Amino acid sequence: MKIVIINGSVRKGNTLAAIEAFSKGAEEKHEIEVIQADKLNIGFCMGCGACECHKGCVHTDDTNATIDKLVAADLIVFATPVYWWGMTAQTKLIMDKCYCRGAQLKGKKIGVLVPGGSPVDAVQYQLIKKQFECIEEYLSWDMLFFKPFYASGKDDIRNDAATVEELIQLGKSL
């Protein structure tokens, strides 16, 4: 599979550690590309409707090239820390732009990795999961995994051998 991972975190902390461990497991069998969301120049969706959900975005920024990568992916992994009970703004910016070619993004396999500063039974993970489940239904996606992580310190995932191993095995299982 071609796996495209969206890293919705700026810092080299838990989300990156989760991505690295997952990739270590997956890279034997699959091609992996990581999109560093904060490095992209993507304007806000203006809701202009010119895209008609298939023509692409009118913005002459990184939007269309990014959506090209998502359209070409067999599996899209959204890796985002919890910010204010939701995904980060940079993740949401890409999510919003999926609207411009939603018709071409139908039927994708997706996965979600979500480190947060609270235990995994906290409501923020349910909120984020529900949001992805709604998008899954709308775009006929197939969510292969949704993994929340309790990681309040910057290196919590990197220093947690069991979690790292779990992520490696998750990548290998694909």
Ligand X SMILES: Cc1cc2nc3c(=O)[nH]c(=O)nc-3n(C[C@H](O)[C@H](O)[C@H](O)COP(=O)(O)O)c2cc1C
Part of the chain binding ligand X (CB under 6 A), chosen from 38-46, 49-57, 99-107, 110-118: 110-118
Instruction: Return the amino acid letter for 67.
Output: I
Site for ligand X in 10-29 (CB under 6 A): 11, 13-15
Choice from 25, 111, 116, 148 touching ligand X (CB under 6 A): 116
> Which residue sits closest to ligand X, CB atoms considered?
13
Indicate the residue among 81 and 171 with the shorter CB distance to ligand X.
81
**Does residue 91 belong to the site contacting ligand X (CB under 6 A)?**
no
Choice from 21, 75, 151, 167 touching ligand X (CB under 6 A): 151
Indicate the residue among 7 and 64 with the shorter CB distance to ligand X.
7
Instruction: Outline where DSSP puts E strands in 23-156.
Output: 31-36, 75-79, 109-116, 142-150
Q: What is the Cα–Cα distance from 52 to 69, expressed in whole angstroms? A: 19
Part of the chain binding ligand X (CB under 6 A), chosen from 27-35, 43-51, 111-119, 158-166: 111-119
Choice from 38, 117, 133, 146 touching ligand X (CB under 6 A): 117
Q: What is the Cα–Cα distance from 172 to 127, expressed in whole angstroms? A: 28
CB 148 within 8 A of CB 119: no
Q: Looking at the DSSP assignment, which residues form a beta bridge with residue 148?
A: 114
Contacts 24+ apart (CB under 8 A), 55-62: 55/100, 55/101, 56/100, 56/101, 57/97, 57/100
Q: Which residue ranges make up the site for ligand X (CB under 6 A)?
A: 9, 11, 13-15, 81-85, 115-118, 122, 124, 151-152, 154
